[in-house]
Amino acid sequence: MTPELLAALQEAQAKKRPVALLTRLSDGHQLLWPDSAVPAALAEAAAQALQEDAAGNLTLDGEAWFIHPHNPPLRIVIVGAVHIAQALVPIAQAAGYAVTVVDPRRAWATAERFPGITLIHEWTDDAVAALAPDARTAVVTLTHDPKLDDPGLDAALKSDCFYIGALGSRRTHAKRVARLTEMGHSADSIARIHAPVGLNIEAVTAPEIALSIMAEIVAVRRGAALGRRAPAAAAA
């Protein structure tokens, strides 16, 4: 890998720009897509690898190429700068996720409690909407306070995020479903919410709950059966 290519790859990563590294395996010749013009078949393979976030191989004119996607990190938006959030942050970071914490309560969302983490103090609906959750984003609400969690969930349900989780018991969630229905969300839409949040590992402490949440996010992201829930009606 040339210093120029390494610099270009690292710059794309710093700017959170998706790029694919294309390597000709016979001699190590490398190109970065879409920065360099490449044959159509390579461009197509690069776009597909980025879309699927999976490396691939292509033989073009008798030459084997390795297609290596470099997507920006997956994101987790945590609503509620609470104790469980403090436990979730390092676990999420270790799993490769970029973390943002949203909480308008400045006493909770402090740099002292969340060193080095992006903190947003706007109201939760504006904050979550502004973060524009996409298919590579998970949203988790942890305040346990409807006036903070509901607007955050409202914004998350209007987005394409791949995971929505909400802290609270089945009873709490049943009431939440009623409120979100009143806000105009359909049953199908509300069924996107994983609640009670996290895989059922009988978690008790904040780090254990954080671990169960992170495990569920990974299960959903990777399409594991554990990540699928019964419809919300069955949980009520």
Binding site for another protein (CB under 8 A): 1-3, 6, 9-10, 13, 23, 25, 27-28, 54-57, 66, 68-71, 73, 96, 98
- Residue whose CB is less far from another protein, 14 or 107: 14
Under a CB-based contact definition with an 8 Å cutoff, are residues 130 and 123 in contact? Answer: no
Distance CA 203, CA 127 (A): 29
How crowded is the C-beta side of 4, counted as CA atoms within 13 Å?
A: 6
At closest approach, how far in Å is the CB of 23 from another protein? 7
Distance CA 192, CA 166 (A): 10
Three-state DSSP class for 58? strand
Closest CA to 156 of 126, 176, 181: 126
Residues paired with 61 in a beta bridge: none
At closest approach, how far in Å is the CB of 71 from another protein? 7
**Strand locations in 34-73 (E):** 56-60, 63-70
- Residue whose CB is less far from another protein, 19 or 155: 19
- Residue whose CB is less far from another protein, 9 or 214: 9
The interaxial angle of helices 170-182 and 146-157, nearest 10 deg, is 60
- Residue whose CB is less far from another protein, 68 or 105: 68
At closest approach, how far in Å is the CB of 198 from another protein? 23
- Residue whose CB is less far from another protein, 25 or 187: 25
At closest approach, how far in Å is the CB of 3 from another protein? 6
At closest approach, how far in Å is the CB of 15 from another protein? 13
At closest approach, how far in Å is the CB of 99 from another protein? 11
- Residue whose CB is less far from another protein, 95 or 206: 95
11 Cβ contact list (under 8 Å, min separation 6): none
